[in-house]
Amino acid sequence: MAIDGKVAFVTGAAQGIGQAIAKRLAHDGADVALLDLREDSLHETKELVEAAGRRAITIGGDVSDKSSLEAAVNRAADELGGFDIMINNAGIAGPITPVRGITEQDFDRVFSINVKGVLFGIQVAAAKLEELGHGGKIIAATSIAAHESFPMLGLYSSSKFAVRALVQAAAQELATLGITVNGYSPGIVGTGMWEEIDRGFAELTGAEIGATYKKYVEGITLGRASTPEDVARFVSYLAGPDSDYMTGQTPLIDGGMVYR
């Protein structure tokens, strides 16, 4: 299997895309450390990893707290016997609001999790890989919204643009350590996050629940919303040896929505 015996660390692993990534990496042969805000919400993902015949540990933690993330990566390396792949997946949509309505508090919250969380993930993973004396893969969630912004999603979008910048700079800085840094840019994935976005649009515009999601899905060339597994398959490629000659990129995996 592509990443047999490697150790992966997935943030935001309790549901949605993070859960699908953890499951897929386990099927590819990795043991997986699972981090989420609430540790008790990670049991289902742990069972999925174990059902694939791999080991999993669950860790409650907040990606916007650097020392907690550092402790979590150290614990994963100790308990799983190594550390090779960091998936900075945790992120939030934040409020659905026009640019003029973004408050300082909203800005700080979204950037704290989406940008600082990824920055800390890159820093902590790079330090651990250097200490272990081998290279590895650092991967981050971005979005179609990291390539093109959309009305009412300017705050989320600007946070994901920032993640692309971090990926590009870190890739160039960490190459000599044998570390590649890439991102994945999903489109419309049917997860808890989109339920929240849809609800946010309904509150703001009076649209019916489900109508905004439907409208966005209708714009997808391949004619359907993404599943978390569609994204996990691409992350599996980024985590494995087939992507060794790729760094600093954040490709779109969106069924055909945004063309770059």
Q: Is 245 a catalytic residue?
A: no
Q: Is 186 in the site for ligand NAD (CB under 6 A)?
A: yes
Binding region for ligand NAD (CB under 6 A) out of 8-16, 71-79, 122-130, 235-243: 8-16
Q: Which of 180, 191, 243, 250 binds ligand NAD (CB under 6 A)?
A: 191
CA 59 remoteness from chain centre: 16
Q: Name every residue whose Cβ is closer than 8 Å to that of residue 175 and which is 6 or more positions away in sequence.
A: 247
Q: Which of 17, 32, 119, 129 binds ligand NAD (CB under 6 A)?
A: 17
Binding region for ligand NAD (CB under 6 A) out of 56-64, 129-137, 235-243, 245-253: 56-64
d(Cα 223, Cα 192) in Å, to the nearest integer?
21
Q: Is 92 in the site for ligand NAD (CB under 6 A)?
A: yes
What angle separates helix 228-239 from helix 16-27, to the nearest 10 degrees?
50
Sheet holding 85-88, edge to edge: 56-60, 31-36, 7-11, 85-88, 136-141, 179-186, 252-253
Strand partners, 32: 8, 56
Q: Is 96 in the site for ligand NAD (CB under 6 A)?
A: no
Q: Is 14 in the site for ligand NAD (CB under 6 A)?
A: yes
The answer to whether residues 140 and 147 touch, using CB atoms and an 8 Å cutoff, is no
Q: Is 230 in the site for ligand NAD (CB under 6 A)?
A: no
- In the complex, the smallest distance separating the C-beta of residue 139 from ligand NAD, rounded to whole angstroms, is 11
Q: Is 16 annotated as a binding residue?
A: yes
Q: Is 76 in the site for ligand NAD (CB under 6 A)?
A: no
Of 156, 184, 213, 216, the active-site residue reads 156
Q: Is 110 annotated as a binding residue?
A: no
The answer to whether residues 49 and 22 touch, using CB atoms and an 8 Å cutoff, is yes
User: Length of the chain, please?
Assistant: 260
d(Cα 21, Cα 27) in Å, to the nearest integer?
10
**Binding site membership: which residues?**
15-17, 36, 62-63, 89, 156, 160, 186-191
Q: List residues near ligand NAD by CB under 6 A.
A: 11-12, 14-18, 36-37, 62-64, 89-92, 113, 117, 141, 143, 186, 188-189, 191-194
Which residues belong to the active site? Answer: 156
